[in-house]
Amino acid sequence: MVLSGEARTEVRNGMGTLGYGKVYSINLSTGKIGTVQVDEKDYELYLGGKGLATRLLYDHTPAGLDPFDEEMVLIFSAGPMNGTGAPQSNRFVVTTKSPLTGGIANSTCGGSFATKLRKAGVALVMVRGKSKKPVYISINEDGVSIEDATELWGKGTQETQKLLPKGFGMAVIGPAGENLVRYAGIVSEERIAGRTGCGAVMGSKNLKAVIANGNHKIPIEAAETFKKFRNEMTKFLLHHPMTGGILPKLGTANIVNVAAGQNILPVNNYQRGRDTRAYDISGEAMEETYLHKQVGCSSCPIMCGRGLSMTVKPDHEGTPGTTVPKSEGTAKRSELTKGPEYETIGLMGSNLGCFDLKKIFDWNYLLDDLGMDSISCGGTIGFATELTSRGMLESDLSFDNHDNISKLIVDIAYRRGLGDDLAEGTKRMAEKYGGKEFAIHVKGLELPAYDPRGCYGQGLEYATTNRGGCHVQGATMYLEAIGPLKLDGHSIKAKPQLVVLQQNIAAALCSSVYCLFATYAMIPSIVFSLNPQGPAHKAITETLLNSGPVLSLVLKSKAPVPVLWFERFLSQVLGRKITMGDFVEIGERAFNMERLYNLREGLTAADDTLPDRLLNESTFPGIEGGVPLDKMMPKYYELRGWDRRGVPTKKTLNRLSIRN
Amino acid sequence: MAFLVPVYELSKVIGRRVEIDATTVGELIDKATTRYGEAFARTTTSALIVVNGIAINSLQGRKTKLTATDEVWFLKAAGGG
């Protein structure tokens, strides 16, 4: 079935108009394809990516709609930076209502889909309705077509991508999305928009894939300046100790040892924060034994992905995989399989009591191929394992034996046996079996691999982030524990201010769309070489921890010039000046827009909290209790311009020009 | 006592885990420096030193007392997610 587009409104990038591509509306129930005229002012206010998609989700769906209702909207969005070739500008965003939290769902994903979407001349695709049979959406410069996907239904994400037309950027679901696993993700190449269950919403529409391609020239208003600056920034990132050193060398799994050393690596469902076996599943261990080559997304110089040689892939019938050590000869790039990220190692490894890299390699592949979020999956299995150990659930799960995990992962994706329960996620498992006090989630979204009892700011971020327990909506743990600064994780000083600032910047990045890893180069190289026990390091950290009042003023002011490279790139691409103040405000607006969506859907201030275990149980000798959330939350609300119920005041909405 | 060395460059030289008898962090550093030389000494000035998950800056620095079951980790900055 091929349907031509109708009433397309050309929205050009650059001077005169603020848009950066077509905005399609596709109804899978009726087969109708059209375009949406976005208010030009909204491009200025929300930019694109997550911000613009959240605005459209709010405007185009009624309150209280079930995530799996036919009328629910699923939005794929690029941003004005995608496809420009600027470093780390490769991610697309998926936005909808979360089947896990009942609030805002969004997730970003690397690869090449965002670039291809823009090359098709498209900024955003809004899908609603439900097809009677499985379909995929194909987009190019000539328009949109809805194609039969019956033959693809039931297939894994890797095979699906091989069977789809060559040369396209792809966003596909696997069996987990088809079977409405509440934490199903959307896969592009070997990357996944994993969090919040967007893949399940896609499955509920009988939509197997969205693919895009084209030759549309992506406009850059100040092309020469941009080109020069892009080269400068690429060099800068390649010479920075984090983006040019640690990340490419060890991948995101470089965090394992640092997290374990600081007692914030989740072990056995967050019962402990460290384990002497951590090194065995670290980025260092992977580099020493199995890393054949670094791999990366398009237009990214960092190459943080891990290229493994998996000569036999684990399948859905129980055949284990075979991962070949690099000592047996380096594999060709075309033969590589992407290895696990830190979060997968943390949640599917230490959180399950598993310190065997080869097992984690298999589970990582299965999760990606079935199309499931490894964080939520690992969190839910960890919770079920603790339930079992306490006699609250009958199962063969154990923190000491992992022979059955591969089968369980497949059972979750196909909702078989116990897998059907686990497909519902931790929150719903706790409602059925009990154990709320050790159910590790926020708002229904399972927590990533940073125990906030060792980084209180990250705890505040988890509690307040609109999509639930998530680390990439601010990454405050980078300032407190993981990165070079080490801002005393057990101090609450300046943490509300830092969390607000970090969340606003992250939301602006996701509206541009940049990769969050770009921010890791914001800390100057020299800080990495300081002695963490020395006076210079201490002076920097003490100054930052005492900077709360100054940061409060910074948050209220608007820096009138570009400060970070993000705003400079945006200014060059859009042909209008974006200052740091503008950039942070774009993020603040997107964050508040998400908040309004959550409030409309019934979430309240009571949902801005952490699991009992993380509030009450200490894992640090000499420190009583967990994260002192109640001591940080009032200041956080005040800085946000929210009332005591966590509702943005009229003054805040007016200041941010948000219509409600 | 368990003395863990998860610093990338150094672990290749002295291994992933080493046990050293010491009653304070300072004594442990001195003994390890004698045993492993300059490579280890450099690490102590560029890595965060933690005992059982707590930075020695928040304890008593090099004077922090150690018992037989304590774990001392030397950590470089990390990033990702």
Query: β-strand A322-324 against A122-128: which pairing, if any?
Result: unpaired
Q: Which of A448, A446, A450 is nearest to A263 (CA)?
A: A450
Token pair, residue B29, equals 């550093």
Instruction: With beta carbons less than 8 A apart as the criterion, state whether A429 and A387 touch.
Output: yes
Is-contact A406 A366, C-beta < 8 A? Answer: yes
Determine the pLDDT at residue A299: 84
**A650 in the same domain as A601:** yes
Q: How far is B56 from chain A (nearest CA, A)?
A: 8
Indicate yes or no: CB of A246 within 8 angstroms of CB of B79: yes
CA distance B77 to chain A (A): 5
Give CA angle at B49 (B47, B55), nearest 5°: 125
The tokens describing B19, both together, are 């046990």
Does residue A7 belong to any structural domain of this protein?
no
Say which of A242, A282, A538 has its CB closest to residue B6. A282
φ, ψ for residue A646, nearest 5 deg: 80, 20
- Here the CATH number for the domain that contains residue A117 is 3.60.9.10
What does the pLDDT look like over B17-69, one tens digit per residue? 888 899 999 999 999 899 888 888 888 888 999 999 999 999 999 999 999 88
| Residues B17, A279: C-beta atoms closer than 8 Å | yes
Task: Indicate the SS3 state at residue B12.
Answer: helix
Q: What is the CATH number of the domain that holds A394?
A: 1.10.569.10
Contact A483, B78 (CB under 8 A): yes
Q: Is residue A355 within 8 Å of residue A349, measured between CB atoms?
A: yes
Pair type for strands A207-212 and A135-140: parallel
Contact A528 B77 (CB under 8 A): yes
| Whole-number Å distance between alpha carbons of B76 and B18 | 18
pLDDT of res. A330: 84
DSSP state of A220: -
CB-nearest partner of A620 from B17, B53, B75: B53
Token pair 């509206």 is found at A511
Q: Kindly tell me the sign of the dihedral angle through the C-alpha atoms of A216, A218, A222, A227.
A: negative
- Chain B residues with beta carbon closer than 8 angstroms to that of A620: 52-54
Looking up tokens 């992977």 gives A286
Instruction: Indicate the DSSP class of residue A321.
Output: P
Residue A14 covered by a domain: no
A231 belongs to a structural domain: no
Q: Which of A533, A538, A618, A620 to mutate to test the interface with B (most CBs of B within 10 A)?
A: A533
Q: How confident is the model at residue B1 (pLDDT cuts 50, 70, 90)?
A: low
A233 within a domain of the structure (yes/no): no
Residue B19 to residue A14: CA distance in whole angstroms: 63
pLDDT, residue A179, reads 98
Q: Which of A378, A412, A440 lies at the terminal end of a domain, its last residue?
A: A440
Of A263, A475, A529, the CB nearest to B81: A475
Task: Looking at the structure, tell me whether residues A492 and A430 fall in a common domain.
Answer: no
Nearest CA to B22 among B11, B33, B9? B33
Pair (A470, A420) in one structural domain: no
Neighbours of A41 (CB within 10 A): 11
Domain carrying residue A428: 251-440
A379 neighbors A430 (Cβ within 8 angstroms): no
Q: Does residue A112 sit in the same domain as residue A154?
A: yes
Q: State the amino acid at position A324 in one-letter form.
A: V
Cα A636 from chain centre: 23
A129 located within any domain: yes
Position A403 scores a pLDDT of: 96
Supply the CATH number for residue A530's domain.
1.10.599.10
Residues A266 and A393 in one domain: yes
Which residue of A255, A258, A306 to mutate against B (max B Cβ within 10 Å)? A258
CB within 8 Å: A341 and B80: yes
**Looking at A325-433, which runs of residues are DSSP E strands?**
337-338
Ranges of chain A with pLDDT below 70: 1-18
Which domains does chain B possess? 2-75 (3.10.20.30)
Torsion, CA A339, CA A342, CA A347, CA A352, rounded to 10: 70
Smallest CA–CA distance, residue A108 to chain B, in Å, is 13
- Complex confidence, ipTM: 0.94
**DSSP string for A533-595:** TSHHHHHHHHHHHT-HHHHHHHHHS--SS--SHHHHHHHHHHTS---HHHHHHHHHHHHHHHH
Contacts of A456 in chain B (CB under 8 A): none
CB B47 within 8 A of CB B39: no
Secondary structure of A14-80 as H, E, C letters? CCCCCCCCEEEEEECCCCCEEECCCCHHHHHHHCCHHHHHHHHHHHHCCCCCCCCCCCCCEEEECCC
Query: A621: distance to nearest CA of chain B, Å?
Result: 8
Which positions ≥6 away from A58 have C-beta within 8 Å?
A: A593, A596, A597, A600
Q: Distance (Å, rounded) from C-alpha A432 to C-alpha A385? A: 15
**Chain B CB contacts of A260 below 8 Å:** 6, 73
- Give the C-alpha separation, A650 to A643, whole Å: 10
**A429 and A466, same structural domain?**
no
Question: For residue range A463-502, what is the model confidence (pLDDT) as tens digits?
Answer: 999 999 999 999 999 999 999 999 999 999 999 999 999 9
The answer to whether residue A622 sits within a structural domain is no
Same domain, A430 and A472: no
Question: Which of A185, A212, A239 represents a domain boundary (last residue)?
Answer: A212
Look at the alpha carbons of B11, B14, B20, B22 in this order and tell me if their dihedral is positive or negative: negative
Scanning A47-190, the segments in alpha helix (DSSP H) are 49-60, 113-119, 157-163, 175-178
**Phi and psi angles of residue A207, each rounded to the nearest 5 degrees, phi first:** -105, 110
pTM above 0.90, yes or no: yes
Q: What is the DSSP letter of A184?
A: B
Confidence of residue B15 (pLDDT cuts 50, 70, 90): confident
Nearest CA in chain A to B73: A261
Q: Do A51 and A181 belong to one domain?
A: yes
Q: Which of A413, A440, A467 is the C-terminal boundary of a domain?
A: A440
A79 and A176 part of one domain: yes
Cα(A162)–Cα(A155) distance, integer angstroms: 11
The answer to whether residue A523 is domain-embedded is yes
Segment A392-400 long-range contacts (CB within 8 Å, at least 24 positions apart): A392/A433, A392/A434, A392/A435, A393/A433, A398/A353, A399/A268, A399/A352, A399/A353, A400/A353
CA-based nearest distance A479→chain B, Å: 10
- How many residues in total does chain B contain? 81
pLDDT of residue A554: 86
Distance separating alpha carbons of residues A311 and A564, to the nearest angstrom: 43
A403 and A463 in a common domain:
no
Q: Are residues A342 and A474 in the same domain?
A: no
Tally of domains within chain A = 3
Do A430 and A546 have their domain in common? Answer: no
